[in-house]
Structure formats: C-alpha cells, structure tokens
Chain A
Amino acid sequence: MVNGYLPTTLKEALELLNEHNLRIVAGGTDMLVQHHNLKTLPIDFKQDVLYIANIPELQGITEDDEYIRIGACEPLESILEHPATPKLLKDTIIEMASPAIRHSGTLGGNIGNASPAGDSLVPLYLMNAALEIQSIEGTRTVDIKEFITGVRKIALKPNELITKIILDKVEFTKAIFKKVGPRRSDAISKLSFAGAITIQDNKITDLRFAFGSVNITVVRHPEIECNYITKTVEELKQSVDDIVGAYQNFIRPIDDQRSNKAYRKQVSLNLLRDFIVTL
C-alpha cells in the first residue's frame, strides 16, 4: 500500500518532500506506464507518491529581456501554444507523443525522467537550458548538462524539486529539430538531431549540434562547434567531412527493440551532414 500526496502549493510540496521519501509524478505520462499494473488494479508504485501537476507555482510561462522561464509542470501542449516559446522547442514538442499525451506531459517531467530518448532534452541541451531547483533550504540553478548524469539518472536531492526551465532568449538564423521515429507520430524516437546556426555579415557567430538517443544522454560538443565560429558558411560546408568525422566517436548508440546501432549512427551523421550541406 502506498500513499499519494496531492499538495496545492509549492511550499506544501517542498515540506512533504523534506519529510518523506517520495516518488515525484508530474504529468505521469511515462511514470504511469513504467508502473503499470494488471487491469482493474491500482498503479504499481513501489513508494509513496507526490503528485505535483496541480501546483500553480509550477505552471505558466514568463519572459523578460534575457530569459524565458517555463514552469516545470506546464503541459507540453500549452508550451506549444505559447507565443514566448522558442520556435525550436515548438518544433520539437509537435513531434512528441500525441495531442492527448501532450496535454498531460510536462517539460519538467521529461527532464526528470532523463530517458536517453527524451525528445525535449535535445533542444534544451542545444539552447543551454538551465533548471531552477528548489527545496525548503532554498533555490539553486543548474545547467541541464550537469543535471542529467546518466540513463534515468539526475542530480536531484531527495528533498528537491525542478521548478522552472530557464532558456536564453536567443535568435538563430536557422534551427531545426529532426525526430526519427518508427512512424510519423505517437512513437518513441530511434534517434533525433538538432542543429542551429547564426550568421552575421557572412560569418558564423554561433553553431550548435545536439544528438538524441545515441548515447546515455544528449550528445553535444561545444569544443567541436567553436572551431567554426568566424568561418563562412562556404568554409563550413567544405569542412563537412571533418565535422562528421569529429562526431563519429561520440555517437555510440545501442541495438534495441526499436532500431540498431548501425542505423542510428549513420542516420545521425547523415542528418548532421544534411543540415550543413543544405545551409
């Protein structure tokens, strides 16, 4: 028998987290599947549960001159519809699951779940997303790449909660997200890719690539990207083999029930190449 807690304020939620060992459930769209049970039996949670989807402080989207802040429990579908949401994130969310699941699923949940196939993680890594984390002891901010430490592993203390996702307000000349799933909608990715570039006066001022589902977490390597800052697009295109080669060793996918290593690797690199050569 497990207990479920349904706080209505952030303060209450943080106090409960501080007092008890709780499994946090946001939209529950993956958590409930992971703990599914025989039909007619209740969900098979192994520990007490904190349901956070009803907390107003965890919802909403705000923006100022520098940042966009997305409440951790803001449903994906609302993020998709919000005018402040960066286009790259919208282009990603529209590819996620189905409308029904997007009305329940949250961005905070997708991050906390830390699945290697979590689609939103790819643009969030690319956009250098930061996470606001709270506990009764206070608030801290952490980069997403520091926060996700492995397959379904996150740097979150038992009494902490992800409260906001913070994105820089940045405009790219071109930014794309490409999900490669087994069908056109409502499916878990075989692999995914995001690429973004900013060009000023014919010079590259910003260049970013991120790959999903091909390693324990999102693959992003600023040390490769920065080699091409100040280069022209033509120079970038001429370097395409070098760039693809540079990512070879970082794309380390697995064989599983959805696809295989060879396909995931080759198509990830194909997407990178295609992004560059079609600029």
Chain B
Amino acid sequence: MSDISKSIRKTDAAEKISGQAKYVADLKFDHILHALTVRSRIPSGIIKNIILPDLPNGYYSVDASDVPGKNVVKIILEDQPIFPKTEVTYLHEPILLIVGPDKAKVKELVNQVQIEYEETTPVFEWVDSVIHYHFEKGDGSKPFTKANRIIQYDYETGYQEQAYIEPQGFVGYTEDEKVTLVGSIQCPYYVKNAVIQALGTTEDQVRVIQPSIGGAFGGKEEFPSLMACQLAVALRKIKQPISMMYDREEDMLVTTKRHPAKIHFEAALDESNHIQSIRTNVGIDGGANTGLSGVVLSRALIACTGAYTIDHLDVSGDVFRTNTVPNGAFRGFGAPQMYFAIEMFMEHIALDLGVDPVTFRHNHLAKQGDHTSTNGTFRDPIIMDEMIEKAMEISDFKAKRKLYDDPKSNRGIGMSWFFHGCGFTGSGEANIIKAKVRLHKEKDGTVQILVAAVDMGQGIRTTLRKVVSQILEIPIQQVVFDFPDTDKVPDSGPTVASRTMMIVGGLVARAAKTMKERWQETSFTVEKQYEQPSYIKFDEETFQGDAYPAYSWGINILEVEVDPVTYQVSVLHAWSVYDVGKAIDERIVLGQADGGLAQGVAYGYLEVMRHESGVLKQKNMTDYIIPTAMDAPTMETVLYENPYAYGPYGAKGVGELTLVGGAPAVAQAIEQAVKQRITKIPATPEYLMELVNNG
C-alpha cells in the first residue's frame, strides 16, 4: 500500500477546469421566478409603513407576515429575524422579497417599494456588550502586584471579507408541501434545521442539496440559513421554483465578515524576564445580530496565550452590538485577531526589554504536558523546537534579522508561531453536533460515502475517498462521494472548524474498518457516531478544561521590502512549517497552505474594509483589494508528520491553521523594515506613513 500522503488528481479538477461543474446559478428550471430583496435604507429605526407598488399578476411580495413558523433564523443565538416585523437594526437589512418571472420587472418593483421609518439613533461605538466572558488560570492578578515590570499594549484588527469567487445563492422548488433548497453552502443541516423551524414543519418536509461550491471561507457557514429561510417562506407561499442569487455588491454589503477586534494586553514580568501573568481584554464588533459571535469570541479568548505557556491569566472579552452588518464565521474564527495581537505583544515585550525576541519567545513556548490557557493539557507531542529550527534554517532568519536591523535597510523579516485547536471549541462536538456518518456497500462492490461534508475547494471529495479506498484496499474509482443531499446523508455536522478530515474523516475511517471486517457481505450499511475521547472535558461556563481534542501547529516567516518613498509593501518570500498530523494528500495540504497564507498575509497588510456610520466603503472587488499573483511572495512549505491517534492516518486540522499566522509574521517584517511598532492591521501604506511621520 502506498503512503496516503502521495498526491492524486483532485476528483473535481477536470469538471472545474473544463467548466462542466454545475454551480447553483447553472441549474435551470422551467417557469422559474426570481426573488430580489427590499432592504433597509437606514441603520436603525422602526418601520412605520410599507407601501408596495401594485404587483402585476404573477408577482408577489413575501415578508414577516408570511412566515409560518418561528420568525427567527436558527443559529446558536436566536436573535436574527427572517424578516423584521417592526425594527430595522442595520443598513441593508432585508425587509421583504419581491418575487416574479421577469427579473428586470422585479428589480423595478423593488425600487418602487416605499418604506416609512421612524429613525432611531444608531450605535456604532463599542458600548453595548451583549456577551461578556471572563476566566482565569491560576491567579491572574497577584503577579501584577509583585511584578518587576509591567508592559502593556493595545492592538486593533479590521474587517476581512471572505471574497469567495461565487456569491451566495439558492434555488428552491416544492413538491406538494415539501421544500427543496439547492444552495452554495457549507452546512446542509444548519440550513435544513433553520428552515424546519422557519416553516414550523417536520424533518421530512425539507430537503437541502449542495451543488459545486465556488469557495466559502466561513462566509457560507451561517449566513445561508437566513437566505434559505426567506426563500423557503416564499416557496411555501408561491409554490413555484424560485431563484435567489446575490450579485457581488449585494453580497459584500449584506453578508457576514471577520469581526473587527480591539485587544488590550498587560504582562507582569519577573526579574528574569519571564512572563508571570497576562491580563487581556478583547472586544469584538458583532454587528447588529449576535449569531456566532460568542463562539468566535471564545476561540479568540482561548487563543490568548498563543503558542506559549503562561501560568497565570486573567482573560475577559465582550461581543458588542452595533448597528452594522452582522459579522460571523471566517476561516480562523477569532484566532487570527488574537494571534496578531499576542505575536506582536511577545515581540514588543522583548524589544522593550532589549532582549532577543526569538529567545524570549522560546523561553515561553508550550511543551507537551503543559497546561493550556483553560487548564487543559497539551497531551500530544509538540515538535515546535524542531520545526522552528527548520523554518529559521530555510529562511536564513537569523542572518536576515541582523542585516535588516541596519537603520538604512528598508527590508524586514518576521516570524509567527501558532497553533489551531482542531474541531469545535469545548463540548460542541459531543453535545451539539453528535456527528453521524454512513458507508454503504452496493452489490457491485461500489462504496458510497454518506456524509454532509461539503467540498468548497478544500478537497474533501478527494481525500475522504482516498481514506476509504486505502482502508478497504479497493481502487479509488470504486468509492463514490456524491454531493450531500439531506434526504440521503446523515448529519455529519457542518463543514467548519478544521474538523472535516479529523472528525468526519475519523468516523469514516472507523466505518471503513468495520466495513472491511464484513466485506464478504453483499450489500450493507455501516453507521458510526462521534464519541468524545474520554479525556476531553470542558466547562463552558468557567472556561476550564480541554477546549480542543487536538492541536495543529505552525510557523510562518515572511520577508518584505517597504518603499521609502511610497510606503508600499512588497512581500518577497514566505517560509512555512506545519504539523498537521498527517497529510492525507500532500498537494491538497500545500494548496491550503499557499491559499491560507495568502489570505492571512493580506489580512495583515492589504485588505481594507471600513464603515462610516454603518456604510461600508469598500463594496466591490474594485475597491476591496485582495492579492493577485503579482502580490504573492514565493512560498516554501515544509510538512512535519506528528500523527494524532484519533484522526484518520493521524490527520489533524489544516484549513484554518494556514491562515492564522500570516498577519503577525508580515506585520513583524514590516515593522522591522520601517523601524516602528505596528499595533494595527491592515498595516496599509497610509498607516505606515503616519507611523514614520510621527517617528
């Protein structure tokens, strides 16, 4: 048997390259209607009156009064209406749909809808805390009373837009009372469960199907549930196929983004320059609805020590409600904000102390057996020492660091160390998701993988088939993994949190092993359900225990040059070393590594999105700048094997790990080049000019 890491051609490469892959907008139905959304023109107010134009025959409006079930989008925290009844809480909040056969006419009717509001004062400052968390490790306060030195910094991060290639979209149709939705989504069962609640119906009356997906990055985790509920309500009312496709600008104005964050850090240091305690306070802007913000905040707080072990912690954070577009899931999920802050903080402490940052950080690096920020334990081997040495060697880090310290140099090199907790935070897998997978053997020996995991480019259609074919020792062509359809596949959980290969793949591997034992049977199904490893215990209230079953680790080193005349940053080279347990397909992991790093680095210096009084200033791909191939550095990536006992073949999470270290590494490189402290990202030329001017 060959090493599973050896790359094979991706299952969907040919259909995507040839243009044959069917995305939701490619699906054609006879007599399809088009749904467009009427949106709020103010950030905050009470709807006094809605005046609809005369709707021609065959045209409909759909609003809160049409919702047969509960008028709330089912996410973790249920505070988002499907259609608002009276109150609007952000600019462009959806109020009602206009549906009809001629899209141009629908657009015209949408523009004719008049809504009278009583405007209320919108909140844009971060003052209205809707979620507050606090936890301690050891005694967070005491070390500050006897500290040799206390160092504090404040850090800020901005919005980030997922910028998936394919905007959000659904088509839906009905058969009798049953509603079927086909959409560009990450989580078929999130959508299904939300729609069941919206329609007040039963499980068998809602079907959700996933076609080819043109990227997601977290942006299609919870947002699609809102669209799906609206469309389902329309389908129930009109009972004709309906298409609901967002254009780019609508998508960018109304869909969830990465939470902007403000992070305060204080460290109490002893005489030997060791951090005794860290106190941190984290604020994130949740936007108008809370949605997943609490879970994003948890992940950020738990990551507050970065890759280091700190004995005493005092950690608190808030989700602030503002009258802006709701923020939500995005690759990294709170960790990118926190890693930027902690990695800059460690660097800044070392520079303030006048000690070598690498040595300082190394003195605090987490080791196997250490207690995590939540008093869990790093049970598995941590091989960061070896990995750091490798990263510094291939990048010539030490020599370059020294060379670029020259006051005349406009180059810089920066390094980030990080981990990513794989899977859901805390007891989510065991208590909420309870993932279930099935394998089905057909009479002809074909094996069907029946899971709700979505291939949004990360290659799961290829890698899960690899796992099954290797275990069963059958050719990969004999293993089938169709697009998920909730009428056919069990709920294996959402495609999020770097969990798919480790958790779902782990279950699929277990099912395959059982299937192998029974292989002589002609046709049968094996089902497996997630069981939490017994050592994983986490108290959600007190933030105590093992927050994650496993950790992937990484190092990014970035080298940049800053133009002294224009303050523009050129990202020259990147070196990365990762421990993802075991790569199920090396090329797919390297693809994730390149893409994740590009997205993480751009978050640190390039991607700018701001709002002014709730109005997003960058609302299309002309103004929201993501890197092109011209902006990307050369990238060298080394993978280390460090198998995890419960992952298939030892695999841990990959997808998010590759993003979280990009911003601090590039920011550190830039600060060395401009000889100034960076405390905000994106580190734009405008900001760098300000830093240099202020000296």
What residues of chain A have their CB less than 8 Å away from a CB belonging to chain B?
A: 33, 38-41, 178, 180, 182-188, 256-260, 262-263, 266-267, 270-271, 274
| Interface-facing stretch out of B303-311, B333-341, B547-555, B561-569 | B561-569
CB distance from A244 to the nearest CB of B (A): 13
For A257, list chain B residues within 8 Å (CB): 617-618, 623
Give complex CA distance A142, B555 in Å: 60
B625 touches A183 (CB 8 A): yes
The residue from B247, B618, B627, B686 contacting A183, defined by CB atoms under 8 A apart? B627
* B residues less than 8 Å from A39 (CB atoms): 25, 245, 247
Which B215-266 residues have a C-beta within 8 angstroms of A?
245, 247
Inter-chain CA distance A259–B606, complex, in Å, is 12
Distance between Cα atoms of A270 and B623 in the complex (Å): 24
Contact pick for B103, options A40, A184, A186, CB 8 Å: A40
- Of A33, A184, A263, A271, which contacts B685 at CB under 8 A? A263
Residues of chain B lying within 8 A (CB to CB) of residue A182? 606, 608, 625
* Assembled-state Cα–Cα distance A180/B608 (Å): 16
Partner of A267, one of B107, B565, B630: B565
Query: Could you write out 16 A-B pairs with CB less than 8 Å apart?
Result: A41-B103, A41-B104, A178-B566, A183-B631, A184-B628, A185-B631, A186-B628, A186-B630, A258-B623, A260-B686, A262-B689, A262-B690, A266-B689, A267-B566, A270-B565, A274-B565
Question: Do B107 and A183 touch (CB < 8 A)?
Answer: no
User: In the bound complex, what is the Cα–Cα distance between A258 and B107 (angstroms)?
Assistant: 30
CA distance A101 to B36 in the complex (A): 30
Distance between Cα atoms of A40 and B32 in the complex (Å): 13
Which residues from chain A contact B107 at a C-beta distance below 8 Å?
38, 41
Residue B622 interfacial (CB < 8 Å)? yes
A187 to B606, CA, bound (A): 12
- A126 to B631, alpha carbons, bound, how many Å? 29
A270, B566: Cβ atoms under 8 Å? yes
Q: B628: which A residues are within 8 A, CB to CB?
A: 183-186
| Residues of chain A within 8 A of B690, CB atoms compared | 262
A39-B25, A257-B623 are known contacts. Are A262 and B686 too (CB-CB below 8 A)?
Answer: yes
Q: What distance in Å separates the Cβ of A275 from its nearest Cβ neighbour in chain B? A: 10
- The 8 Å CB contact of B686, one of A178, A263, A270, is A263
Bound CA–CA A257/B623 (angstroms): 7
Cα A221 to Cα B424 with chains together (Å)? 63
Q: A-B pairs with the 6 shortest C-beta distances?
A: A257-B617, A184-B630, A185-B630, A263-B686, A182-B625, A257-B623
Question: With A and B bound together, what is the CA distance between A19 and B107 in angstroms?
Answer: 32
- Tell whether, in the assembled complex, residue A267 and residue B567 are in contact, meaning their CB atoms are under 8 Å apart: yes
- Closest Cβ of chain B: how far from A176's Cβ, in Å? 12
A180 near B568: Cβ-Cβ < 8 Å: yes
Residue interface bits B675-695, CB-to-A below 8 A is 1, else 0: 000000000011001100100
Inter-chain contacts of A183 with B (CB < 8 A): 606, 625, 627-628, 630-631
- Residues of A within 8 Å of B245, CB to CB, are 39
CB contacts (< 8 Å) of B623 on chain A: these are 188, 257-258
For residue B689, which residues in chain A have a CB less than 8 angstroms away from its CB? 262-263, 266-267
How far is it, in angstroms, between the C-alpha of A214 and the C-alpha of B622 when the chains are bound? Answer: 19
Residues of B whose CB lies within 8 Å of any CB of A are 25, 36, 103-104, 107, 245, 247, 565-568, 570, 606, 608, 617-618, 622-623, 625, 627-628, 630-631, 685-686, 689-690, 693
- Which residues of B sit under 8 angstroms from A271, Cβ to Cβ? 565-566
Given the known interface contacts A183-B606, A262-B689, A267-B566, the answer about A188 and B622 at a Cβ–Cβ threshold of 8 Å is yes
Q: What A residues does B685 contact at CB under 8 A?
A: 180, 263, 267
Q: Name A185's closest neighbour in chain B (CB-CB).
A: B630
Closest to A267 in B: B566
Q: Which residue of A lies closest to B243 (CB)?
A: A40
- A186 shortest CB reach to chain B, Å: 6
Distance from A136 Cβ to chain B, minimum over Cβ atoms (Å): 35
Contacts of A38 in B (CB 8 A): 36, 103, 107, 247
Instruction: Tell me the smallest distance from the CB of A23 to a CB of chain B, in Å.
Output: 19
Q: In the assembly, what is the distance between CA of A270 and CA of B564, in Å?
A: 9
Contacts of A258 in B (CB 8 A): 623
CB distance from B560 to the nearest CB of A (A): 13
What residue in chain B is nearest A39 (Cβ atoms)? Answer: B247
Residues of B within 8 A of A33 (CB): 622
Chain A: CB-nearest residue to B104: A41
Q: Which of A182, A185, A258 has the most CB of B within 10 A?
A: A182
| Distance in angstroms between the alpha carbons of A187 and B630 in the assembled complex | 12
A163 to B596, CA, bound (A): 48
Determine the chain B residues whose CB is within 8 A of the CB of A185 once the complex forms.
Answer: 628, 630-631
Closest Cβ of chain A: how far from B68's Cβ, in Å? 29
Minimum CB–CB distance for B259 against chain A, Å: 21
CB-defined contacts of B568 to chain A, threshold 8 Å = 180
Instruction: Report the Cα distance A186→B685, complex, angstroms.
Output: 18
Which residue of chain B is the closest to A268 with respect to CB atoms?
A: B566
Please tell me if the beta carbons of A187 and B25 are within 8 angstroms of each other in the complex: no
Task: Tell whether, in the assembled complex, residue B686 and residue A259 are in contact, meaning their CB atoms are under 8 Å apart.
Answer: yes
Q: A41-B104, A185-B630 are in contact. Are A180 and B566 (CB under 8 A)?
A: yes
* Interchain CA distance A156-B103 in the complex, whole Å: 36
B residues less than 8 Å from A184 (CB atoms): 570, 628, 630-631
Q: Distance in Å from the Cβ of B679 to the closest Cβ of chain A? A: 19
Q: Chain B residues with Cβ under 8 A from A266's Cβ?
A: 689, 693
Q: Hey, which chain A residues are within 8 Å of B622, CB to CB?
A: 33, 188
User: B626 to chain A: closest CB distance in Å?
Assistant: 8
| A-chain residues with CB within 8 Å of residue B606 when the two chains form the complex | 182-183
- Hey, which chain A residues are within 8 Å of B618, CB to CB? 257
Question: Among B25, B247, B627, B693, which residue has the most Cβ atoms of chain A within 10 A?
Answer: B247
Q: Which residues of B contact A40 (CB under 8 A)?
A: 103
Which residues from A are CB-within-8-Å of B686? 259-260, 262-263
Q: Across the two chains, which residue of chain B brings its CB closest to A98?
A: B628
A195 to B531, CA, bound (A): 69
Taken together as a complex, chains A and B put the C-alpha atoms of A180 and B625 apart, in Å, by 14
* CB-nearest residue of chain B to A38: B247
Chain A residues, CB < 8 A from B631: 183-185
Q: Which residue of B lies closest to A270 (CB)?
A: B565
Q: What residues of chain B lie closer than 8 Å to A270, measured between beta carbons?
A: 565-566
In whole angstroms, what is the CA distance A251 to B617 when docked? 24
Give B244 Cβ to nearest chain A Cβ, in Å: 12
CA distance A263 to B570 in the complex (A): 18
In Å, the complex CA distance between A270 and B686 comes to 14
A-side contacts of B25, CB under 8 Å: 39
Q: Given the complex of chains A and B, what is the CA–CA distance between A186 and B628 in angstroms?
A: 8
Complex Cα distance, B19 from A115, in Å, reads 36
Measured in the bound complex, the distance between the Cα atoms of B625 and A188 in whole Å is 10
Report the minimal beta-carbon distance from B540 to chain A, rounded to whole angstroms. Answer: 40
B567: A residues at CB distance < 8 A: 263, 267
Instruction: Specify the chain A residue showing the minimal Cβ separation from B606.
Output: A183
CB distance from A100 to the nearest CB of B (A): 12
Write out the residue numbers on chain B whose beta carbons fall within 8 Å of the beta carbon of A259: 686
Q: How far is the CB of B650 from chain A (nearest CB, A)?
A: 39
Q: For the complex, what is the distance from the CA of A180 to the CA of B570, rounded to whole Å?
A: 13
Residue of B nearest to A180 (CB): B566
CA A182 to CA B608, docked complex, whole Å: 10
Known A258-B623, A263-B686; further 19 A-B contacts with Cβ < 8 A: A38-B107, A39-B247, A40-B103, A182-B606, A183-B606, A183-B625, A184-B628, A184-B631, A185-B631, A186-B630, A257-B618, A259-B686, A262-B686, A263-B689, A266-B689, A267-B566, A267-B567, A271-B565, A274-B565
